Amino acid sequence: MVLWQFKRSSYAKPYPAAAQLATYIRSQYPGLVAMKLQGPLADRSAWDADERCSISRAMGVVGTRSAMLLLREAYYGTTRFDDFAHRVGITDAVASARLKELVEAGLLVKSPYREPGQRTRYEYVLTDMGRDLLPAVVALMQWGDKYLQRDGAPLQVVDDATGAPVSVRVRTDEGDDVELDGLRLRVNRE
């Protein structure tokens, strides 16, 4: 859906209607504006977002479809290689490469097991690092449910003890929800 379109113009000044439209959009869609950048970050031309970006580094570890789906299966309780490959619908070669990357990155650990009369094999178990990624995966699932599922969410994550649906939100340490325009980005360390 296109919210608005402007014709190209040789005028240097913006259309007065553009400012009014921006004000209207902000009033109708709270949180649509960007977070505030503080201190040296305020000058966007003075720093490179990828230089030490944690998002970029995280995507280097889990940024493929197969890696995310393997993690999904690990959260669902899958531990064995054949089950991972089958449930994600990828070749053994791709499963092997991705599982190796997830082990090397520290999200999974290989643990030996042996069925009676069989050779020793390995299962893949989530580490603390892998479990700590769960909120990001649940947030991605909730985003997909909201924007990509026509008939509503096919699955729902709930609290096992109460059955209450769980959700991921951006919150302060005090528990207050914060919208995008209420966030500020600052340098944590030099």
Domains, the chain: 56-127 (1.10.10.10)
Per residue in 11-44, pLDDT tens? 444 445 655 666 676 677 655 667 788 888 888 8
% the chain with pLDDT above 70: 82
The string of DSSP letters for the chain reads: ---------S-SSPPHHHHHHHHHHHHHSTT-SPPEE-GGGGSGGGS-TTSS-HHHHHHHHH-SHHHHHHHHHHHTT--BHHHHHHHHT--HHHHHHHHHHHHHHTSEEEEEEE-TTS-EEEEEEE-HHHHHTHHHHHHHHHHHHHHH-TT--S---B-TTT--B-----B-TTS-B--GGG-EE-----
Backbone dihedral angles phi then psi of residue 30, each to the nearest 5 degrees: -60, 145
One-letter amino acid at 103 equals V
The predicted pLDDT at position 26 comes to 63
Q: How confident is the model over 154-170, as a mean pLDDT?
A: 96
The predicted pLDDT at position 47 comes to 77
Per residue in 68-115, pLDDT tens? 999 999 999 999 999 999 999 999 999 999 999 999 999 999 999 999
The predicted pLDDT at position 39 comes to 83
The overall pTM is greater than 0.95: no
The predicted pLDDT at position 43 comes to 83
The predicted pLDDT at position 145 comes to 96
% the chain with pLDDT above 90: 64
